[in-house]
Amino acid sequence: MASVIHACAVGELLSAYLDGELTRDELHVVVEHLDSCLECIAEFHELRDARTMLRTLPRLEVPDRALPDIHYGAELSAYLDGELPTGEQPVVFAHMALCEKCRNELYELDAARTAVRALPRLDALPDGSAHGRDGDANVIPLRRGRRSWLAASVAAAVLVLFVSLTSSDPQGPVLDLEVFSNQHVARESVQSPASLFSAELTAVDVSNP
């Protein structure tokens, strides 16, 4: 095929050179070599074109169906206990404003938590968790009063949230998420300075939720 058969080993370094993946010593060798070797210069241009073609392939959108519904079942207990990381709490809160499924799950969890905490002969540990003494599973019926209190408070919170969302920004929850994602963008750009391209992708993703 068309591949130039190279006498010099430097040709093998040219892709890594384009990607900024050479060691300092290698870089020195390549730069110096490219000053004089016409073959490698030609090879360099061809590889650069190939790389550019790949990197400018259109970014396809994910079909909607591929992005599943997102819920926070796993975080709800920590949410109830106020143990979520500060940044995550508003995200979960905003989600619940829109998601009946997670709200219902929160009620159930709260009821369960209340029941556990109301178990007789329990030591309440300093961290708020509770452990049964001798496995006596006295099932305490869920208490309606507590449940409806929580329901009311969440409903009120949801209402407040809606009002604040609609008055400030119609895309409310997205704002919270962007705080998160910006942190990740920052982290990513630290990790891979070479990948301009991925930064561009990220920028598109963020601006285009």
Partner 1 sequence: MAEELVPDWEDVARRYGRKIYNYAYRLTGNPDDSADLVQEVLLRVRKGLQRYTPGSFEGWLWRITRNAFLDDVRRRKRRPTVPLGDDDRGIGNPSPSPDEVLSSVRLSEDVQAALLKLPMDFRECVVLCDVVGLTYDEISDAVDIPVGTVRSRIHRGRKMLRDTLTWPL
Binding site for partner 1 (CB under 8 A): 1-3, 12, 14-16, 19, 21, 46-47, 49-63, 65-68, 70, 74-75, 85, 87-88, 91, 95, 177, 180-181, 183-184, 186-188, 190-192, 194-195, 197-206, 209
Residue 201 found at the interface with Zn ion (CB under 5 A): no
Closest among 118, 179, 175 to 146, alpha carbons compared: 118
Shortest gap between Cβ of 100 and partner 1 (angstroms)? Answer: 17
Instruction: Please report whether residue 204 would count as binding Zn ion according to CB under 5 A.
Output: no
In the chain, the N- to C-terminal Cα span, in Å, equals 44
Per-residue x/- track, 75-114, Zn ion (CB under 5 A): ------------------------x-xx------------
What phi and psi values does residue 92 have, to the nearest 5 degrees? -65, -40
**Cα–Cα nearest to 103, from 143, 141, 156:** 156
Give which of partner 1, Zn ion, none residue 105 binds (C-beta under 5 to 8 Å, depending on kind). none
Asked if 71 interacts with Zn ion (CB under 5 A), we say yes
Phi, psi angle pair for 125, to nearest 5°: -80, 160
Strand partners, 130: 124
Q: Binders of Zn ion: how many residues, by CB under 5 A? A: 9
Count other C-beta atoms under 10 Å from residue 72's C-beta: 20
